[in-house]
Each structure stands twice: as structure tokens, then as C-alpha cells.
Structure 1
Amino acid sequence: MKNNKTTREADRCLTCKNARCSGGCPISTAIPQIIELYRNGDLDKAGEILFENNPLSLICSMVCPHEDNCMGNCILGIKGEPVDFPSIEKEISTKYLNENVFSQETKLDDRIAVIGSGPSGVTLAFILAKKGYKVTIFEKHSKLGGVLRYGIPEFRLPKDILDTIEKRLVELGVKIRYNDLIGPVNNVEKLLEDGYSAVFIGTGVWNPKPLRIKGETFGHVHYAINYLKSPESFDLGEKVAVIGAGNVAMDAARTAKRLGADKVTVLYRKGIKDMKATKTEIREAEEDGVQFSLYTTPKEIVDEGIIVTQTKLVVDIDNNEKLRNIDDSQTFLQYDSIIIAVSQNPANNIVSNTQENIETNKSGLVLIDAAGHTTKNGIFASGDIVTGARTVVEAVVSTKKVAAAIEEYILNLKK
């Protein structure tokens, strides 16, 4: 049975022939076609199309930056409210994922090793397992999902969705090895020796990027990526500062507020318009009671809080904006806990334990060619481990291309 709200939204859609919404979607979702099928009550066909195009369609309907993608390009949004396609996509994809039994198209002898069960790993596993490959996922945590489970709060992405995804992968014959960190014991050479035709690295970026200021190692200081793994484990106190301006910072701030912190303040060295977080994330953080201290730069962390300097944007003679510290503006702000959320870097457990180097850039991100092949034969990669922290849908887009490249690589091995 269709939802009344989503039905109204579907009826508002103009089903444009040259749909700007589809053009604005990184994975080119056929939005007018999906909405037309929805109107006609053919949710099963709509769900199939969505899943075949994007195995993480349900997740993307909940965590994508829609204001920049589909909704941000809806023609109705020029003078009014854009069509809420994410709600339609969520309803369709929920039904499809919950009610369909997945099966392999055929049975193949080739084995694929997938390191990491985040967006890239799950996407690759779905695509190749469905085609008949023997897929094994190696996950360092005790549950599937990677950043989807350990980096996105429950209120944004319910974890039972990931449990359903795991069931569907198992239906496709995917084997999952939990608490298994590739590198220290078994490395990629061992995987190839054991007969895996190809190895895919989709481990994401889990090492927090430090501020490099004095006091950062004190006991009341935490990194957002660590906090979000198990926020219930932390006793942050009543007053919490979150340093950062991206979606991870908003997630950490909103989580701290929802778990009982009386005052949560986001500190950022520039203004609202410069924040990397989406407008929706910022608005929802404000609705949750999160406060913002803008043009505030951390200088030193002390036992009782943080010392900051006020900043301002100035325009130079070439009309370029530059950030400057305001003289004599240093001040002390009292907080019980400090959460640092200024980006993440990749871990090097795979690269450092590989005999023949997998080349990386200076930030530790894995270097690949246009097909997703690393500098080591048979080893592929995509997602955040290649690009740095990006959106879920961007990871899916790049991984679909790599899945095709892996198939081609395996076929060439047999010639």
C-alpha cells in the first residue's frame, strides 16, 4: 500500500523528458520513469530498476545530499518546493529490499576477495555475487556496514537496514569473515596465492586527521570518527565543543546533544556559507539545539576547555578572500569535552604489509588507473580509500565501474 504523502509528491512530478533531477543525480537515477511506475502501482519493477542501478538505493534515499542532487535540480524548486523524490525512493527501495529473495544468475568458479564492507565493498559484493562469482568479504569489525554502521548515527540510518542487506548478500552466496583485519596476519599476496582471481580494497578512511595543537591527547578530547563508532561508551559531560564544519561534525554534535549533553557548540574558523556540511544537516543540527561559534579558531586545548582566537575574512588587493586572526582576540571557552571532526585519513595496514608496493599518494590514498586497478596486478580499489571521504553515492558510482573492470580482468586471465 502506497504512502499518502509520497503519493502526493509523485503526483506533483512533471515527469520532464529532459529531467534535470536525473541529470543532477551522480548515479543518473531514472527518476521520471520510477515516479511513473510508482503512480501506476508497479513498485516491484520500480524497486528492481533502482536496485540494479544502485544497490544502495535505500541508503542513498536517506543519507545523500539531496539538496545538491535530485531535489536541488528539480524544476519545481525554482519557484517553489521540489518534489521529494528521496521519500518515494525510500518507500520503493524498502519494499524491494525487504520482500525480494535474491539469487545468483549463474554459478562461476572465480573467487573475489572484498576487503571492507562499507559502501564500496557492499556494492561490489552485490554486483559480482549476483553474476555468480564466489565473493568473500573481510570485515575488521564485528558487523557489516563499515562507515554506514560505525560512522552514521542511528537516527539518520537505522542499523536494521544493514542487517537486511547482510541477509540479501548471504542469499547470493557471499561469505563474510568478521573481526578479520587484512594485513597483519593474511595480506593480499596470501589471498592471491589461495586462488582469489581479484582482490578489491574498499576499506574507507578510518584514521582521524589531527589538529596538531597542544593538548590534543588529553583525556577529554575525542575524534569524531572514534566517537561515532560507539557514542554510548563516552561520558562527555554537560558542555561539549565540536571542532569542524562537515557532515561528520554535524553528526557528532547532534549525537552528543541527543545523548544528553546540555550544551553542544560547533566551532568553525569561517562562516556558515563556507561549511562543507549540507544546508539540511546544518538546519537539522540547529533544530536539535546545537549552537555555532563561527570565525573561531582553536589554538590550545586545556583541562577545562579550549583557548581560541577570533578570525575574520578580509579581501586583498587582488580581490581574494583571506582568513586573518583578529589581534588581541584570544579567549578561553569552558567545555567538559572536545570532539575533533576535521576529516580522516586511510589506515596503512594493507599497503604496509604488501611485499610488492601498492602505491599511494602523500595522504596515503591508494592510486588507481581509470579502471580502478592499483599498481599491484590483480588488486583493485575504489571509494574513500581512493578519493578521501566522499558521499555514499559517489562510492557506488566509482565501484560500479571497478566491478566491470574486474570482470574484464578475469576474462582476460582465461584467454
Structure 2
Amino acid sequence: MDKERKLILKLGQKVTNRIGHKVTVDDPEYWGLASVLTDEMAGIALSMKVRKPMTAEQIAKKNKIDLRHTKEVLHEMCVIGVLEFNRENEDHHKQYVLPMFVPGSAEFMNMNREQTEKHPEVAKFFYDMSLLPLVKVAPMVPPGGAGVGMHVIPVEKAIPSAQESVSIEHISHWLDKYNGQYAVGDCSCRRSRRIMGEGCGHLEEDMCIGLGDMAEYLVETGKGRYIDRDEVMEILQRAEDNGLVHQITNIDGEDKIFAICNCCVCSCYGLRTSQLFNTPNLSRSAYIAKVDPENCVACGQCVEYCPAGAVKLGQKLCSKDGAVEYPRQELPDAVKWGPEKWNDSYRDDNQMNCYDTGTSPCKANCPAHIAVQGYIKMASEGRYLDALKLIKKENPFPAVCGSICNHRCEDACTRGTVDQAVSIDEIKKFIAMQELNSKTRYIPPMINQTGKPFTEKIAVIGAGPAGMSCAFYLAQKGYPVTVFEKNKKPGGMLEYGIPRFRLEKDVLAAEIDVLRAMGVRFECGVEIGKDITLDNLRADGYQAFYAAIGCQGGRYANVSGEDAKGVWTGVDFLHQVNQDESTKLDGRTVVIGGGNVAIDVARSAVRAGSFAVSLYCLEGRDIMPAAKEEQEEAMKEGVAIHNGWGPKEVLIEEGTVKGIILKKCISVFDEKGHFDPKYDENDLITVECENILMSIGQSIQWGGLMDGSAVEFGRGDGAVADPLTYQTNQPDVFVGGDVYTGPKFAIDAIAAGKEGAISIHRFVHEGQSLTIGRNRREFRELDKENLQIPKESYDKPPRQNVTYRAGIDPKSTFDDTRVPFTEEQLKAETSRCLGCGASVVDPNRCIGCGVCTTKCEFDAIHLNREIPDASHMARSEDKIKEVLPYAMKRQIRIIRNKRKETS
């Protein structure tokens, strides 16, 4: 064990913020300083008073050392971060200051990147010293923070002009005060978290703005660079775009701050003071957000960005028992407060989206949780481009999904309990028609925290919906992304597995063009594992891989004769037809399978010329997995659907199909709901045919893609990965879509692609956790059976139905004969939405940052100045006298409450 260094120990005791604590060598006050300070430096610091400026001459004289050497040591101490300096005197001479640990030397020491990476204990030192001094005092602090740490300052445009405000509540006031004296440096909190392996994906570079003397300090000690006001405003705007909170230092009273920080709750130690201890007084501004339910459409943008978890989704409609009462966070105003009241998991809990009572079923049931009510409202107002932008926050392919989605949102629609569900997909399809015109399509701008593109190369393998979704969101964040696709065209099953009568290929091509415009590069005709390997790509600088090759292989039924000529898998048949619509099927066709793919196969067989198409499936009509409307379309086109039959044997004549024997299925699932079909082997039928199309499942064709990797495979040969992050046992390989879940729908794959992009962003930056502070995207729907729905809210036109192009026999063409809504139909249909969800603010959690107001596009959430005392800024030296009166009043309230409880 190293020898105890008495000067370091003494200095740690001198500077600590912990009142009444005796510092030992086991405390961060000691080992944090001991790692970087010499005894000479400690001696010089001990000759100074905390937060009392001294010139180099005064320090040299007091320590009886050479002035030149003193200046050299003082400069080195400033570089280390244990000292700061200012020129707050008449002659503007440089004065050195021994700051507190936080905000002060512990933070400044973390600003020195090389030092913190060489001495990682410095990162933990800052973590501890921003926490330990507040353990006992946190519940006693009055609004405004009483000179403790940092203080939220609202987004300036969020401050209502109609309400009285004071100058110090405005960022512009502080920028004017320090006119031109600006510098920017890295975020110490995020650096500390990164070094500890607890980064949240919010990066540290160029986030903290130093003002006045702090600007000079940052530049002179190599911790920052000078910037002008335009760049200050650009940084602030970028912070708001990324949902970061503005905070100012709060230890020098109302006449001085030294920094404006742009903070995230998942890393910031300043915001931790209120969130961990559940004591918002330590951070909050004078403002509290409030929702106007009439304008709110539960789009969830305010919820997603609220740093304090104060806004969650609830319902707008009353229950049958009256208005829903939402829980409020308990505050320490009149109760004893200890660790049992803290929230150690605040970084994750603040990402919860929804109250237990639930919210709009459309958003809750959509796998991508698109803001359905939001884009319906925008469409009703003619704001089609805004609606398109809102959809693309969660789904890069609205036009594709408008054509093929299995619309779980619509199936869950509250309106369906009244008469018929809102035709959500047709509304989305109308909005997404903007994508077909290059002049009106929406190409998202790059939005990331740095304001410049990243250099880390990412490879996406597979250009299906999951892969392209991942590429979209990575490109939007500024990454160079290359998508490798073994087929000649991108799109995956969207291109090769879905017939054009359901998804016109110009619709798909238009949305893929958006990705190209965003900078995504497509390399088609390249099979990874055959033409090139993952190791080749690693050698070429690719730092992460998203494998989303889908389930592009078909499955056979494992019955006798299925290797005969005339037997196809449904997947192979669709691939052939989508490549060449002139493909012909002569004679009679039997399709085996009951899902949407089987329906597509059957309808394509009709168009390929088969004069009799029959579909046989195990399930009864009531439980067929194919969508009801798809079944109806097929029957209209002459497809005969037979339920309760499975294949037993393919009949062959001279190597060619001549028929199939089917056996009666008496049950499909076991008592636990698992697929386990049972048959009556004596109940058989024979169906004569010339073609059999097996559409009973899909398989993954890995090829050599994962050769030599640590990726494991599970059920159905799917990749094994973490269910939240999609990371495999090969750390740089992530998976998504059907290779992970098995065959599902495009919207499921799209949602997985976005999550993959989030994980990859975190992975390629050292020290970032894949899970901390991550939105779990968990929603629950409200109780539709317990709603009080006023008649006037549903006394609207009936549901608008899809129409078809006149004079065209759909069996004769692969064209999509469905006609999109007219604008009149759109207006009528959007008016049918009940608007059943809304955002709800817990005022006891709100810290008044105003970030929520910047995300709302419906003028539904505003700041109100309800706590004017929170704008009182005190000097650190006065914190005891600031805290004491409030603490005494609080103690009296606690005693009174106890008496009430016992009486």
C-alpha cells in the first residue's frame, strides 16, 4: 500500500463539500487528488483559501518560493484542473482560485481528457464528489438550489412572452453579459461516465460553453477553444434538437455564472442531483410544463424527450368512472426522506413512456409505435409534409407500409368499439404519396450532437426492411453506411416477395431513393460470406455490422413426392414472379398454407394463368393467420379456400405432379398454444393438380456469412441476440428482422432496424453502454371497455372504404388496382378519429427545461411560471443560511404530519 500523503489528505479535507466528514485515504477526496497532484502542488493549494482569489505574486510570497517557478506550477495545476483563474479585479491581473470539488476541481480535472484516460480514478472521483455531499442535504434544499451545483435554464423560446420573467431566466441575458467571451469544451460528466463504461450514447465533445474568465481558462489550459456568438447559438440549437437540457452554474449568486452546459439526464451529474434523490428543487427552473388536452394528440414527442420523466402518455377520454387520476411523484416537503425514497434506476425509469392506465391503442399496438393520432391530426389540417415527417421519426417507409402493413393499429382502434375502426393505413397511404414525387418527398436532415458527420463506417447486410431501416437511422445520425445486398436490387422481400398488386415497385423505389439522397450506399449483387467476408470488411475499416438478410428461403412439407417437377416453395415462386411477371403456370394449382404469403402466392398464381387455384391450410377460417381482407380479395379473384387440411403425399406421374393427397387436421395447437398439429389419418381427400406451391414457412439462408464468427444460432436457425440491443455473441455483429424473430411483418422489421441503429451508434463509441438511459419503447393501451365516449365525438361520416380502378379485372394484371383516398375522403376519415390519448405532466417531477415545448408540433404543451422562487440564485458560501430556514419549516411540517398520523 502506498504511503499516506498527509498534504493530499489535508487538502482533500479543506476542499470537500461534505459537511462534518473526516476525510481518510479511502475517500475520493484523497485518492482523486493523490493520483495527479504532487506534494508541492498540494502545499501551494493549502496556502490558499477556498474560492478566494490570489495572484501568483501573493502565492509565491506566502510559500516563499520563486515567482517564475510558482507561475509554472500554478499553470500546471490549472491544466490538471485543481485550480482555476480569473481577472475579477480592477487591474484585470490574473488571479488563481482554489475551487470546491463540485462544481469545481473534480469537474475541471475531468475536462483534461488525456489525464482522465491515464488516471481513470479521476472519473470515479468526479462521480463520487458530485454525489456524496448531497446525500443528507438534498431534501432540505429550497427551490433555486440555494447555491448548490447547477440550475436548469429554460429554452428561451419556451418562456411565454405573456408571463412576467426575470432576466436571469434568459440565456440571452448571460450571453449579453459576457459579450464575446465564449469558449466551448467537452462535457466532464459524459467523459466521466464514458471512462467508467456507463456512457449513454450522448457524446462529450463540444458541449459545455464557458463564459467570461472561464472561456480564457478553457483555452489556456487546453480544455476548449474560443467561439463566437453564432457558434454558441448553433451549439444551443443543436442541443435542443437532440433533446438536451440547458443548465447554468449556480454557486456565484445572480450576478455571475461561468458556464452554460447542455445536459442529458442519463449522464449529467447536475441533473442527477434532482433525479436520483427525487428532489427537483436541486435542479428546477421557475417553470412547470402544462398540457392543453384539447390540442394534444399523444404523439409522444414530449414524452420521448422529457429528461425528468415528468411527461407520460395517458388518455384524453374520461373513463366510465370519470376523469382518470394520475399518480404524482412524492416530494420531500413534509416527509422524512432517505434512500428508500430515492430512485437509483432513474436513468432507465425516466425513459418509461406510459402510465399504467394506458394510452391510445393505435400507438401502443404499432410495433414501431408511430404517432398515429399525430399524423391523422396533421392530415386533417392539410399538413401533409409535416405528417410525413412525423411518421418518419419511427418508420422510413410510410408509402410501403401504407400498401402492405397488417395494420395492428387499426385492429386496436378505439373507434372500432363504436362502429368501425379509422382507416389508418389509407390515411397513411395518402400522406405517403408525397414520396412518389421527388419535389415533395421528405429527406431528413442529419441530426446528431456533434453537428458534423461521424467517420465510423457501418455495414448493413441485407437490403430488406430491417436493414434499410437501420441504414436510414444511422445515416440520419451522420454515419457512412453501406448496404450489401446479394440480389440485383435492394428491397429484400419487399422487392422479391410481395407482388406488385400489393406493393407497386415505384413506391418502394421512391423510398429507397430517399436513403440514397441521405448518403446511404448500396452494393447490390454482393453476397457477404461468398464474394467478401466480414473480416475483409473489418480490414476495410467497417466497425459494426447489422445482419438483416431475412428469411428468403422457402420450406417444404417433408412429404413423399414433393421433389417432383411442378412443386415450388411459395417464396421461390414469388421471387420468380417478381423478377418476371410473364412467368406462367399452366393447369390447376394447389397452394398449401394459410398466411398472408400463401394468399399472395395464390393470387399470383391466378395472374400467372392457372385456371383453377385452391388453397388448403391447417387452420379454421376463424384462426387463419392471413388478414381477413386478404382472404376476401383472394376469393373475389376465384381462389377457393379450404380449411382444416394438411399435405400427406404428392402424387407423381413420370416425375411430374398430378395431384396431392390431403389429410384432415383436427387440431393445430396444443393446450399451451404451441404449434403441434394433429391429424385424422383416415380422413383423406385427393386433389388433382399440375402445380403445388408450398407456402408453409420460410427459412434463413446464412450461406457463409457468419463463418468464423462467434454468432450463435437458435430455433429455426435464427441468430441468438440480446432482445433489447440485438447484439450477438460477436460484439460487432447486430441482427434484426426475420433472422432474429423468424418471419414477421415489414413493420416489425422496421422497428427492429431503428433499435439496431441505436445500438450501433453506442457500440462504435468507446465507453457507451448499450442499455443505460435507453427508451424501452414499452406502451400499453387504455381500457377501451371503460371509456365514456360523448356521442358528438363519433357522430361523424361512416368509414371511407377503398375503391378500385374501374373497368379493370384485377386477375388480368399485376398492377395495384386500389385507388388512394381523395382529399375529400381523407378529410372525412380523419374526422372520425376519437383522439383518445394525451400527454400528462406530473408537476412534481417537471424541472421546467422547456425541451418538451420544442418537440410539440400541436401547440399543446407550454411552460408556466409557477415557482418564481426557483430563479433565486445564491452564492455557495451562503448555502447554509439559504437552506436552514427551509429545512426548519420542512421539519415542522414533518412533525405535524407525524402527529396527524398518530392522532
TM-score (ref. length: structure 1): 0.89
Partner residue, 2:308: none
Q: Match of 1:19, as an amino acid?
A: S
Shift of 1:96: 4.6
Partner residue, 2:419: 80
- Paired residues for 1:178-327 under 5 Å: 178-231=524-577, 232=581, 234-303=583-652, 304-313=658-667, 324-326=678-680
Greater displacement, 302-311 / 201-210: 302-311
1:364 maps to 2:717: yes
- Checking the alignment, whether the CA contact within 8 Å between 1:351 and 1:357 is kept in structure 2 is no
Q: Match of 1:240, as an amino acid?
A: T
- Paired residues for 1:36-47 under 5 Å: 36-47=377-388
SS in 2 for 1:264: strand
Separation (CA, whole Å) in 1 of partners of 2:589 and 2:436: 38
Separation (CA, whole Å) in 1 of partners of 2:434 and 2:744: 27
Shift of 1:193: 1.5
Q: 1:176 aligns with which of 522, 525, 534?
A: 522
Separation (CA, whole Å) in 1 of partners of 2:676 and 2:502: 35
1:62 maps to 2:416: no
Partner residue, 2:503: 157
Partner residue, 1:92: 431
Deviations 1:87-142 (A, max 9, x none): 11111122156323635444221111010100011101111112211111111111
Shift of 1:363: 2.1
Separation (CA, whole Å) in 2 of partners of 1:81 and 1:277: 20
Separation (CA, whole Å) in 2 of partners of 1:272 and 1:182: 41
Q: 2:702 aligns with which of 341, 348, 352?
A: 348
Q: Match of 2:752, as an amino acid?
A: S
Partner residue, 1:34: 375
Separation (CA, whole Å) in 1 of partners of 2:711 and 2:682: 48
Distance 1:265 1:48, change over 3 A: same
Shift of 1:281: 1.6
Which blocks of at least 5 consecutive residues in structure 2 are unaligned? Answer: 1-296, 299-314, 317-358, 653-657, 770-903
Separation (CA, whole Å) in 2 of partners of 1:82 and 1:123: 28
Partner residue, 1:4: none
Q: Match of 1:46, as an amino acid?
A: A
Distance 1:325 1:406, change over 3 A: closer
Shift of 1:34: 1.4
Distance 1:317 1:283, change over 3 A: closer
SS in 1 for 2:575: coil
Q: 1:128 aligns with which of 463, 466, 474?
A: 474
Taking every aligned residue pair, what percent have the same amino acid on both sides?
30
Partner residue, 2:53: none
Partner residue, 1:25: 366
SS in 2 for 1:34: helix
SS in 2 for 1:412: coil
Separation (CA, whole Å) in 1 of partners of 2:567 and 2:765: 51
Deviations 1:270-327 (A, max 9, x none): 3112321121221221122110122222111122111222343499999x99865446
Shift of 1:259: 2.7
Separation (CA, whole Å) in 1 of partners of 2:422 and 2:718: 37
Highest relative contact order (Cα 8 Å, sep 6+), 1 or 2? 2
Distance 1:326 1:182, change over 3 A: same
Distance 1:117 1:199, change over 3 A: same
Distance 1:356 1:317, change over 3 A: closer
Deviations 1:159-216 (A, max 9, x none): 1112112321221121111111110131112111210111110100112122111111
Distance 1:321 1:236, change over 3 A: closer
Q: Match of 2:609, as an amino acid?
A: G
Separation (CA, whole Å) in 1 of partners of 2:412 and 2:716: 34
SS in 1 for 2:696: coil
Distance 1:237 1:114, change over 3 A: same
Query: Which protein has the larger Cα radius of gyration, Structure 1 or Structure 2?
Result: 2
- Checking the alignment, whether the CA contact within 8 Å between 2:533 and 2:705 is kept in structure 1 is no
Greater displacement, 31-40 / 308-317: 308-317
Separation (CA, whole Å) in 1 of partners of 2:730 and 2:619: 41
1:137 maps to 2:483: yes
SS in 2 for 1:129: helix
Deviations 1:209-240 (A, max 9, x none): 22111111111100110100122364322310
Distance 1:239 1:111, change over 3 A: same
Greater displacement, 106-115 / 245-254: 106-115
- Checking the alignment, whether the CA contact within 8 Å between 1:242 and 1:267 is kept in structure 2 is yes
Deviations 1:332-366 (A, max 9, x none): 210010000011111121445x2133111142101
Separation (CA, whole Å) in 2 of partners of 1:317 and 1:73: 26
- Superposition RMSD in Å: 2.6
Separation (CA, whole Å) in 2 of partners of 1:20 and 1:216: 44
Partner residue, 1:8: none
Shift of 1:148: 0.3
Separation (CA, whole Å) in 1 of partners of 2:762 and 2:675: 48
Separation (CA, whole Å) in 2 of partners of 1:265 and 1:332: 13
SS in 2 for 1:301: strand
Q: Match of 1:59, as an amino acid?
A: V
Shift of 1:389: 0.4
Separation (CA, whole Å) in 2 of partners of 1:204 and 1:300: 29
Distance 1:412 1:323, change over 3 A: closer
- Checking the alignment, whether the CA contact within 8 Å between 2:460 and 2:467 is kept in structure 1 is yes
- Checking the alignment, whether the CA contact within 8 Å between 1:22 and 1:31 is kept in structure 2 is yes
Distance 1:93 1:321, change over 3 A: closer
